[in-house]
Amino acid sequence: MATEILDARGPDRPPLLERPGGPTGPGPIRHGDDGGGPSFAFDPGQFAIWAFLGTVSMLFIGFTSAYIVRRTGADWRALPLPRLLWVNTIVLLLSSAALEVARRRRAALDLGGLRVWL
Amino acid sequence: MAKLQGLLFGLATLVLVVVATVYFTKDWLPPLKSDRIAIDHALTITLVVTGLVFIVTNLLLAWFGYAYQDAPGAKAAYWHDSPKLELTWTLVTAGILAIFLFNALNLWAKVTSRPPADAVLIEVTGQQFAWNVRYPGKDGVLGRTDHLQASQDNPIGLVKDDPAAKDDLLLLNQLYLPQGKPVRVQVRSMDVIHSFFLPNFRVKQDAMPGMTIDIWFTPTEVGDFEIACAEHCGLGHYRMRGQVHVVAAADLEKAVTEAAQ
Amino acid sequence: MEGEERMAHTEAHAAEAHAHDHAPTAFIWKYVFSKDHKVIGIQYYVTAMLMALIAGLLAMLIRVQLAWPEVNWGIIGRLLPAGFQGGAGQPYVMNPEFYAMLFTMHGTIMVFFVLSTAPVSGFGNLLIPLQVGARDMAFPFLNGLSFWTFLCGCVTILTSFFVGAGAAAGGWTSYPPLSALRGAVPGSNTGQTFWIIAMVFFISSFTMGGLNFVTTIINMRTKGLSLFRMPLTLWSMFLVAILGLLAFPALTGASLMLLLDRHFGTSFFLPTGLVLNNAPMVGANGQFVHQGGSPLLWQHLFWFLGHPEVYILMLPALGFTSDILTTFCRKALFGYKAMVGAMLAISGLSFIVWGHHMFVSGMSPYLAMAFAVGTILIAVPSAVKVFNWLATLWRSRIQYKTPMLWGMGVVSLFISGGLSGVWLGQSAPDIQLHDTFFVVAHFHLIMAGAALFGVFGATAMWFPKMFGRLMNDTIGKWHFWLTFVTYYGTFFPMHYIGLAGHMRRIYDPYQYEFLKNLQPLNQFITVSALILGASQVLFFVNFFWSAFKGEKATENPWNANGLEWTTASPPPHGNWPGAVPEVHRWPYEYSNPDAPKDFVMQHEPPLAVESGH
């Protein structure tokens, strides 16, 4: 096949390859999901990104709550929102959806669909 | 050597318990001069309950530390779970603390309740590094302030043209309170956060710039006491000292007028 | 067919990975820019201890000033002209601004650069891979990066002593407007900006570390190591990482806003109407420069981090203590599930109690009530932990080695400090106690003390895994006793002076009549503190001497059960020379009457009769 061997178990399962920072060195290769032991295993990088998303979310929650508190101040002047803001928001949402569909098409090895959605 | 350690640990813990008990049975709060005796009661009850827990747990720690030392032939028990025991001590602790919480919330509601209508109105404005005290005068109304008008001669920015301000009485670092009558203090700040602390009255309120915060209490005894600042406010935080004079209620107006001269 | 292809593919990659995974040999890659969790752990640890030396010295200066404000500082005054006035026949007197900087920097350095670091980044990095049965952390490069970022933070905060008008001086809590207005106190010039930058470095480092911890613990546990078979040290590191990941962003955001208020004219925390030195802070247009901000906003954001932060400091010590107590009293931990549940409850509740630092701040009294509820509640799981430790010690068999003494010291401090929290958590009594030395007593006993004793105990216990040697037990015991006695001698009397009304952060308390009679007690505290400080020399001597000349340690000198004791002291690169061990039980199987020895390590094959953990 011209394409590399993709993990046919689905788009989000960890690859079978060892990660450089993970268990290496002599000894049997440890896969996270070979039975017994930890009952779940995630790709470390993905797990860390999700954890970091939690951190970043808290940062934005902090800013948002500061905004909410601050707008009760006497000097607050509400900004008029330009209509373009809503157009941009819709474009962002639609393109995010399209990118997600494209990613699923790729994982399902649907190269034609991938090209369309990109 | 090991036996010695066990003995030492037990002894040290015992000494801690004894010293703590001795000290805490003496006077530890500044003499109370206000109606907030409920706070002192809460503190005393807390002392008794936490003191008992302190004594019991430390005695256990001392005893176990000494009695269960490693020795030839000694064996440790193999017992590491008792759901009943866990439930018991969790519920007992939670129960005792629930009572504390209930009382604490009730007390807080009283302390932070609205001042009575006949409370004497006083404004205290903290600044780096003094307490500006203002009485509303005969009209009973505090004049407007505008911080844009603040200056060396007018530290709180009193709007001199405001009719209500004309009879306001201004004092520096001196607070006169009526004995037996409720007092309502509006706490403010010109610059940074200060904290209006009257140790003898169980009163403490942070002075927040941009806010006016009301507190109220009733002085119970005539005498002279101190005001302290209880929030780090800069170089002079340590000398932001004022004086409280509790006078007979009938003498308050005279005392304030004389002091304001 | 496809399966075989995949197998071959995998093995080829494995061989390739193996070929790349040489232990570094050059000094710079082995000991300086290392990716090995053990080296990084020691780097963090040693840096934190050096920062502790500095912050400890600051504390000594504070204590001498409080005991004898009228003292002539002599040579110290001459060496630090920026902090003292005098000379030319006049005695040297400390400046109030210097005092403000002392307590600010003592708190800042101790809380962040010492006690968030040594137990968490130091021992967490050292122990997590060893205790989970992994060859390193999930992201070794990120790990190394996190240390060097931390070091940047250390350099920044130390440099702040030497900038312009000195280091930050608004308290470690940096409340605006004091910290936001450059003219409000000298340290609020460049020093406060450096403080903010140092915080950003620190928080970045802690976040990187937190990601590593959480990923490693969730993802890389060896076969058989379920969550409820983890040592409590691992649980504490796991929870601390989560707390840090979720709580620090509040301070990040607040710090950014403070920076903007300070340098870019914004008004997040600065209200309308500020008058500094009797001059309204107006701009060219006659309007106030800052308008509409709220100092309370900073307090909410700061303490949203601040409260979980103090649990970040304390939880690892609680984890260490459970491991230490069980190892040295040869008895299973009582109530493992309850202990884990208690730590989970403490961690969860820690997010909803932050307002107890703000009872008298002027926030809504209803809000204060809500916070009082959580605060009193959090005492329940804390008490449960103490009871379980006592039950562990009951009918045990205590071996009084140095780590055990520290572990029992943690229990003692946790009792003392925890109980004083009940006083402070009730909102109305807190009116009298807020911002007095009662608070200082409380947090030094429970937070600083527990964390410090935890670090000392962990050091004595896991020294073999750091340096392959044992610390000297005799010096260790002397160090413990001197520290234990003087620690209480320093901080317990602070309850009394706090109840008597002695405020915090006061350069000269004896300006006040009602505090004059407390000077003898302050002097007693200072003498205790000076001896406490001096006693730490014993630790430093023991640490560095033993690292090079101490008795060589075997694999498992304490006959303990964790996976870290199944490999050499210190462990080789990759932690286990052969296969990583598998786990068959919890780590607290001590004195099982049906077992051949008084301990059954986690990796030993299942016994005929086991309690089913």
Contact C138 A28 (CB under 8 A): no
Query: Nearest CA of chain C to the CA of A42: how many Å?
Result: 6
Q: What is the DSSP string of C156-185?
A: HHHHGGGSTT-B--STTTT-TTTTT-TTTS
A5: number of Cβ within 10 Å = 12
Preceding amide of C577 cis, omega within 30 = no
Q: What residue type is B113 in one-letter code? A: S
Contact C245 A20 (CB under 8 A): no
Say whether pLDDT at C17 is over 60: no
Nearest CA in chain A to C21: A25
Residue B7 parent element (H or E):
helix B2-24
pLDDT at position C571? 96
Say whether pLDDT at C9 is over 60: no
Contact C223 A36 (CB under 8 A): yes
Would you say A103 and A115 are in contact if contact means Cβ atoms under 8 Å apart?
no
- How many contiguous H segments (helices) and E segments (strands) does chain C have? 20, 4
Between CA B89 and CA C447 the distance in angstroms is 24
Cα B26 to Cα B29, C169, C562, distances in angstroms: 9, 36, 49
Residues of C within 8 A of A23 (CB-CB) are 134-135, 220, 580
pLDDT at position C609? 61
C266: number of Cβ within 10 Å = 17
Average pLDDT, chain A: 70
Mutate to test the interface with C, among B33, B55, B64, B187 (most CBs of C within 10 A): B64
Residue range C308-316: mean pLDDT, rounded: 97
Residue range C139-157: mean pLDDT, rounded: 97
Residues of C within 8 A of B91 (CB-CB) are none
Which of the other chains make 3 or more beta carbon contacts under 8 angstroms with chain A? Answer: C
The residues, any chain, with a CB within 8 Å of residue C349's CB and separated by 6 or more, are C374, C377, C378, C381
- Confidence band, pLDDT 50/70/90 cuts, at residue C21: low
**Whole-structure pTM value:** 0.91
Say whether pLDDT at B232 is over 50: yes
CB hemisphere CA count around C573 (13 angstroms): 17
Radius of gyration for chain B, computed over Cα atoms and rounded to the nearest angstrom: 26
Would you say C42 and C101 are in contact if contact means Cβ atoms under 8 Å apart?
no
The answer to whether C203 faces chain A, any CB pair under 8 Å, is no
Pairing of strands B120-127, B183-189: parallel
Average pLDDT, chain C: 93
Query: Shortest CA distance to C115 belongs to which of C250, C310, C307, C247?
Result: C310
Between CA C314 and CA C308 the distance in angstroms is 10
C43: number of Cβ within 10 Å = 21
Question: Which of B13, B152, B155 is facing C412, going by the closest CB pair?
Answer: B13
Between CA B158 and CA C391 the distance in angstroms is 65
Query: Nearest CA of chain C to the CA of B189: how many Å?
Result: 9
pLDDT at position A81? 87
The 10s digit of each residue's pLDDT in C552-573 is 999 999 999 999 999 999 999 9
Q: What residue type is C293 in one-letter code? A: G
The 10s digit of each residue's pLDDT in C159-215 is 999 998 899 999 999 999 999 999 899 988 999 999 999 999 999 999 999 999 999
Within chain A, strands assigned E span none
The 10s digit of each residue's pLDDT in C73-96 is 988 888 888 899 888 888 999 999
Q: What residue type is C119 in one-letter code? A: P
- Confidence band, pLDDT 50/70/90 cuts, at residue A40: low
Q: Where are the alpha helices (DSSP H) in A7-83?
A: 44-70
Residue range C260-280: mean pLDDT, rounded: 94
Say whether pLDDT at C142 is over 60: yes
pLDDT at position A35? 33
Window 182-241 of B: residues touching C by CB (8 A cutoff) are 187, 190-193, 195, 197, 199-200, 202-206, 208-211, 213, 225-226, 228-239, 241
Contact B228 C294 (CB under 8 A): no
The answer to whether B9 faces chain C, any CB pair under 8 Å, is yes
Contact C207 A55 (CB under 8 A): yes
pLDDT at position A37? 44
Query: Shortest CA distance to C567 belongs to which of C551, C556, C583, C553?
Result: C556
Q: What residue type is C427 in one-letter code? A: S
Question: Which of A20, A27, A51 is facing C211, going by the closest CB pair?
Answer: A51
Between CA B154 and CA B158 the distance in angstroms is 7
- Confidence band, pLDDT 50/70/90 cuts, at residue C372: very high
Nearest CA in chain A to C206: A55
Which of the other chains make 3 or more beta carbon contacts under 8 angstroms with chain C? Answer: A, B
Residues of A within 8 A of C218 (CB-CB) are 38, 42, 47
DSSP 8-state secondary structure symbol assigned to residue A3? S
More confident residue, C138 or A79: C138
Residue range A60-77: mean pLDDT, rounded: 88
Cα C567 to Cα B78, C40, C134, C474, distances in angstroms: 27, 19, 12, 26
- Confidence band, pLDDT 50/70/90 cuts, at residue A41: low
Residue with tokens 């009719």: B163
State CA C351 to chain mean position distance. 17
- Confidence band, pLDDT 50/70/90 cuts, at residue C446: very high
Please give the angle made by the CA atoms of B213, B218 and B221, to the nearest 5 degrees. Answer: 135
Between CA A58 and CA C323 the distance in angstroms is 33
Residue range B201-216: mean pLDDT, rounded: 97
pLDDT at position C328? 97
- C468 Rama sector, left if φ>0, alpha if ψ -120 to 50, beta otherwise: left
Residue range C542-560: mean pLDDT, rounded: 96
Lowest mean pLDDT among A21-25, C4-8, C338-342, C382-386: A21-25
C135's tokens: 């060859």
pLDDT at position B117? 94
Residue with tokens 């999901």: A33
ipTM of the complex in this document: 0.96
Nearest CA in chain A to C585: A37
Between CA C530 and CA C528 the distance in angstroms is 5
Lowest mean pLDDT among A114-118, B134-138, C286-290: A114-118
